[in-house]
Amino acid sequence: GSLATDQQNVSLINFIFWLKYIPGDLFKAKKLASDVNAIMDLLMKFVDEKKRHVENSNEVCNLIDAYILERNKKVEAGIETYLDDKNLLKIMLDLFGAGTETTNTTIYWCILYVLNYPEVQEKAYQEIKNKIGTSRAPTIQDKCQLTYLNAVIHETQRMASIVPLSVTHVCSEDTTLQGYTVPKGTYILPSLDSVLHDKATWGEDAMSFKPERFIDDNGK
């Protein structure tokens, strides 16, 4: 949660450059850099272990193994490559940030919402009970059967809006958007939050937790 929040704060600095000159660490840029460096150090230890594993067996078990093997092939052939440790760490950090941090935060919010909307919790429970029973945990193979539970997850992500601001972009050429002129070189900070809570899109009850909005007339 804190890592995702700090990333959003730093995104403001990328958009409004002069904010970085404010004394102290108001936008948590220094804290984020320290946290990222600590994660990178931890990941590097894991990479070193994987290097030894690949050297000893040449067995590919995951993306990291495949990356290291491909890099080794290019190096041995004298081919210049960007498949170095730095880029591997960046890929791993992306997977951690997008696949771990956001998933954890989504689960936290989902628990909060179903606690505040017990009728939603009961519907999700009954669907799981009726579709797969209570003798085992759901698996990914059950996903297509759990329509309401999937809707709960989608509505959680919409309502919680755990990444309210998207990555800063730069306009590559002069353009117009809904009558506004956007010059080349303009920094653009998309607001996902405004879309996810837009009453014109979701209706007057946009700020209510309503999984049914993700289920069509056919119950899908």
Q: Each residue's pLDDT tens digit in the chain (220 positions)? A: 566 566 666 767 766 777 778 888 877 788 888 888 888 898 899 899 888 888 777 778 888 889 999 999 999 999 999 999 999 999 988 887 777 778 888 999 999 999 999 999 999 999 999 999 989 988 888 998 999 999 999 999 999 998 888 878 899 999 999 899 999 999 888 889 999 999 999 999 999 999 999 998 887 8
Q: Are residues 5 and 112 both part of a single domain?
A: yes
pLDDT at 210: 97
Q: Which of 38, 137, 44 is nearest to 85 (CA)?
A: 44
Task: Judge if 86 and 176 occupy the same domain.
Answer: no
Q: Give me the long-range contacts of 35-43 (CB less than 8 A, separation at least 24).
A: 35/3, 35/6, 36/93, 39/93, 39/96, 40/89, 40/93, 43/89, 43/92, 43/93, 43/96
Domain identity same for 110 and 77: yes
Write the burial class of residue 12 (CB in 10 Å: 0-12 exposed, 13-18 middle, 19+ buried): middle
| Residue 48 and residue 91 share a domain | yes
Domain assignment of residue 201, yes or no: no
Which residues constitute the domain of residue 214?
117-160+209-220
Answer yes or no: do 124 and 155 share one domain. yes
Report yes or no on 204 lying in a domain.
Answer: no
CB atoms closer than 10 angstroms to residue 105: 20
- pLDDT at residue 203, as a whole number: 94
Write down the pLDDT at residue 29. Answer: 81
SS3 163: coil
What pLDDT was estimated at residue 120? 97
Residues 152 and 174 in one domain: no
**How much is the pTM?**
0.67
175 and 141 within one domain: no
Same domain, 156 and 166: no
Residues 139 and 178 in one domain: no
Same structural domain for residues 149 and 178?
A: no
